Chains A and B, each alone.
Chain A
Amino acid sequence: MRRNRTLVLAAGALGLIVLIVLVLPVFLPSVSATDPVHRLLPPSAAHLLGTDSYGRDVASRLVSGGRASLGLSALITVCAAATGLVIGLVSGFFRAADAVLMRVMDAWMSFPAIILAMALAISLGASLWTELIALTVIFTPFTARVIRSRVLAVASRAYIGAARVSGMGRWKTLLVHVFPNVLPLALVQVVVLAAAAMLVDGAMSFLGLGIAPPTPTWGNMIAEGRSYLVTAPWLVVVPGVTIMLCVFLLNLVGSALRQAVDPRARTLHELQRLRTRTT
């Protein structure tokens, strides 16, 4: 039951963050209104989290930046995890597809990501969608490879043969027997992707490939605050801690979910609990 409590708590906290991010900006002043006189103020009653180098209120930027960051990170995670999962499953399970798909992934991955992102951003124009496409393209092969390696191991188990004897089609076997076995790993990938997406977004903005200023994202807030690390540390610490908090919560939700999708993990959990209690 502890498992459920963590799940509920972590999911609740995440939900709360999402809610704040969605609702609060409506009541906050413009995030792009600059006020050079009040720049780089430390946190105070007027500016809960201080102000940045333009004199903008960090708290309102944090909240409204969450929209782009969480939204983008969620979209990227979903897209990259889904495509990576599909490619990984297919190429791990179908030998014929594997040769081709994995070589494509290799070529894809060995192409420097910065240039890929630049080319995309410039040919499509820098925007949220470009960034989404670019990051999805960059992250997909990583997920695909990791998933594939697990699929390879699962595919050699005897129950895959048994499914064949039971007349199950290859694709359905993939879905019913292989997929659940790689799902926990996929959940880990989701956490990894979400964390990476939230951070990489900053690097993308830095390269001018991300969401255009002054729209804040947690990533570009960190990137912008970078030069004030010593004089105004809150500029980096605040969004940084927020990202870490979200990743941590996501991680909790991820492992709780894993137990929910995997009956064996449930048993293990019980076991660990018993072991920690006795002796």
Chain B
Amino acid sequence: MTRLLLRRLRDLLVILVVVGTMMFFVIRLIPGDPALAILGPTARPADVAALRSAMGLDGSLWEQYLSWAGHVLHGDFGSSITYHQPVLGVVLEHIPPTLTLAVLSSVISFLLSVAVTSWYAVSPRNPLARALDRLSALGMAIPDFWISLVLVLVFSVTLRWLPSSGYHSLFTDPVQALPALVLPLVVLVIGQTALFVLTLRESMLGELPLAYLRTARAKGLSESRVMLRHVLPNALMPLITQLGSNFAMLVGGIVIIESIFVIPGLGHLLMGAVSTRDFPLIQGVTLFVALLFVLVNLLVDLSYAAIDPKVRVS
């Protein structure tokens, strides 16, 4: 266990270095720079250059990189060019909304997909279970902004049940936070659940013919218990992988959802930073997304070990 953790820590560092470095150079490859973005189309090249230098963007790429890397090593992620604030603070401020959405939607989709799939597995003849199972693939094919807008039109604009947008912290202001979270969560959950159901169904089907289920049934366990306690845990691995990857993607940016529901999250921040070419901020966000991503994957790997003893032993 400790060995795994140590190894992961090493991997984490490697990934952060690689991603940070790649990002540093990649964003500078894309035409356009922050000075130009601020000064606009009629700016004189000299002014652009002056502003650029005031932003610390003169000097060769390597010099810039080394200076940035040096600062990062000392825990200094620089200052956002557009917001004039330390990157760390800006990023930390934008993490909670994204994390709230990502965690909640992942958990809900996970539970929901497990419920739908097991229900169908337990009672394949129930028409509703069957329909849910069959139609789940459609969930993936629904454009998320489309379903968002429809839901907002119905539940916010017409029925006035839920706010059409906004974000409040779940911890400091749960009464306002919950209603505002409902619609974005629903949208995220629809797409993810569809994906999870497909994955899980496939992997559960793979378990069904295995002999250990016979034993479970011979104990007189109910069919639901057989599915939930025996088939499911054994079939969970691909789903958990899927969950991990998806979570990573959510953390990296639910841009559309965040913008439709006006949620100040990381995706929104990143998009904004890209459009203003706020290099330090882009780099900072990227490093944090990578960090979250690796941590999530560590969790995923640990849960592999919890689920499949053979993986743990070897």
Contact = CB atoms under 8 A, between A and B. Distances in A.
Is A–B contact present in the complex under a CB 8 A cutoff? yes
A256 interface: no
Interface size bucket, A side? 35 or more
B274 A115 contact: yes
Interface string B129-151: 00000000110111111100100
A188 interface: yes
Nearest to B291: A110
B274 A111 contact: no
Given A109-B248, A111-B19, A240 B241 contact: no
Nearest to A264: B209
Given A236-B146, A248-B141, A276-B124, A118 B274 contact: yes
A247 B137 contact: yes
B311 A156 contact: yes
A222 interface: yes
Contacts of A112: 23, 252-253, 270, 285-286, 289
Interface residues of B, number: 63
B271 interface: yes
Contacts of A86: none
A106 interface: yes
Of the listed residues A115, A116, A184, the one surrounded by the most CB atoms of chain B closer than 10 A to its CB is A115
Contacts of A251: 137, 198
**Interface residues of A: mostly helix, strand, loop or mixed?**
helix
Contacts of B146: 222, 229, 236, 240
Of the listed residues B153, B252, B256, the one surrounded by the most CB atoms of chain A closer than 10 A to its CB is B252
A145 B141 contact: no
B124 A110 contact: no
B205 A184 contact: yes
18 contacts: A106-B294, A111-B286, A111-B290, A114-B270, A115-B282, A116-B26, A119-B27, A122-B31, A150-B203, A153-B310, A156-B314, A184-B202, A184-B206, A185-B199, A199-B144, A248-B138, A248-B141, A272-B124
Given A106-B11, A145-B244, A184-B206, 17 more contacts: A106-B15, A111-B22, A111-B290, A112-B252, A112-B270, A115-B274, A116-B26, A118-B274, A122-B29, A146-B238, A149-B241, A150-B238, A156-B308, A195-B141, A247-B138, A247-B140, A248-B141
Interface of B: 11, 14-15, 18-19, 22-23, 26-27, 29-31, 124-125, 137-138, 140-146, 149, 153, 195, 198-199, 202-203, 205-206, 208-209, 237-238, 240-242, 244-245, 248-249, 252-253, 255-256, 270-271, 274, 282, 285-286, 289-290, 293-294, 297, 304, 308, 310-311, 314
